[in-house]
Amino acid sequence: MERPVCRRWCCVRGLSTVKASLKRCIGADGPHFVPQAELPPGTAYEQFIFEAGQVPTRENLHDFFNALCWMRFPRTKKRLNELQAAEIAAAGIQAVRGPVRDACTVFDENAALLHAPDRLWDALARREWARLFGEMRPLWRQAQLLVFGHAALEKLVSPYKSITVHVWRVDAPWVDPRTLDAWLADDLKPAKLAAKPFVPLPVLGVPGWWPANEDPGFYADPQVFRPLRREAPAQ
């Protein structure tokens, strides 16, 4: 951990301390965080969490943010783990993940949650970047965007222009994170995940997220703000 604000929580003991302080928010049913060495050789990570109720945790930023996500979204994280465990039970560990496991992993690592006006969502789905971040820029004030994936959160510690999240659409605005957590856990169904209804979003292009994007030229970078491929229909 390089950032001083995180340093006191950079070990498993620190994460357990944080969790204890948040029990009133998430209840006492959440997992325990244990050292990575507690994961038995040959046992799948997701299977171990499901069976033991313990999350193997390394002392790094990636697992730090994973733990924070467990604390903020306990139902959703539990649902993702249940789906992963069910897929492993049905098909075992394969060289290539099936579509549901693959989508669960993408969601867990890199998802962002977006509630936005239909016009804004349509422009995003069509990768109409100039319209999305230019003409429609004021509409972002009506949107809610929250980064869920712990790998994406880790990247944002040292941000760079091309960080791209996988957006999952949220139908209604949220106020209480617990309400969002309950809704999201219910929304994560195997068929929907297998269809991969994600839309890519270079997140630092969002108004207010990065000072450089005040310059319209920020978006004139086709290596980051890529057009929609013809074979990829808008979501």
pLDDT in tens, 123-153: 999 999 999 999 999 999 999 999 999 999 9
**Mean pLDDT across 60-79:** 96
Could you tell me where the beta strands, DSSP code E, fall in the chain?
A: 32-35, 54-57, 111-115, 144-147, 164-169, 199-202
- What would the mean pLDDT of 11-36 be, rounded to a whole number? 64
Site of tokens 């994007």: 213
Task: Examine residue 101 and state whether it is found in any structural domain, yes or no.
Answer: no
Question: 206 and 123 share a domain?
Answer: yes
State the Cα–Cα distance between residues 230 and 60, nearest whole angstrom: 40
Residues with Cβ within 8 Å of 93's Cβ and at least 6 positions away in sequence, in order, are 44
Contact 124, 167 (CB under 8 A): yes
| % of the chain residues with pLDDT over 90 | 78
Number of H helices, E strands in the chain: 12, 6
Instruction: Please report whether residue 78 resides in a domain.
Output: no
Does residue 213 lie within any of the structural domains? Answer: yes
What percent of the chain lies above the pLDDT cut of 70? 85
Domain boundary among 72, 96, 126: 72
Phi–psi pair at 33, nearest 5 degrees: -100, 125
Task: Answer for the pair 151, 62: CB distance below 8 angstroms, yes or no.
Answer: yes
Q: Of 135, 138, 143, 142, which Cα lies nearest the Cα of 201? A: 143
Evaluate whether residue 202 is within a structural domain.
Answer: yes
Query: Do 118 and 31 lie in a common domain?
Result: no
Q: Is the pLDDT higher at 233 or at 81?
A: 81
- Residue 19 scores a pLDDT above 60: no
Q: Is the pLDDT of residue 200 over 50?
A: yes
Q: Given 44, 72, 100, which residue is the final one in a domain?
A: 72
Looking at the fold, whether 159 and 59 belong to one and the same domain comes out as no
Q: What pTM, to 2 d.p., does this model score?
A: 0.86
Same domain, yes or no: 53 and 114: no
DSSP state of 126: T
pLDDT for 181-193, tens place per residue? 999 999 999 999 9
- pLDDT band for position 84 (50/70/90)? very high
Tell whether 59 and 116 lie within a shared domain: no
Q: Is residue 225 part of a domain?
A: no
Give the structural domain span for 202: 108-219
Classify residue 83: in a domain, yes or no.
Answer: no
Give domain status of residue 59, yes or no: yes
Residues 67 and 135 in one domain: no
How many folded domains does the chain comprise? 2
**pLDDT band (50, 70, 90) for residue 28:** low
8 Å CB contact between 206 and 120: no
Residue 212 maps to a domain: yes
Give the three-class secondary structure for 99.
Answer: helix
Q: How many CB atoms lie within 10 A of CB 215?
A: 9
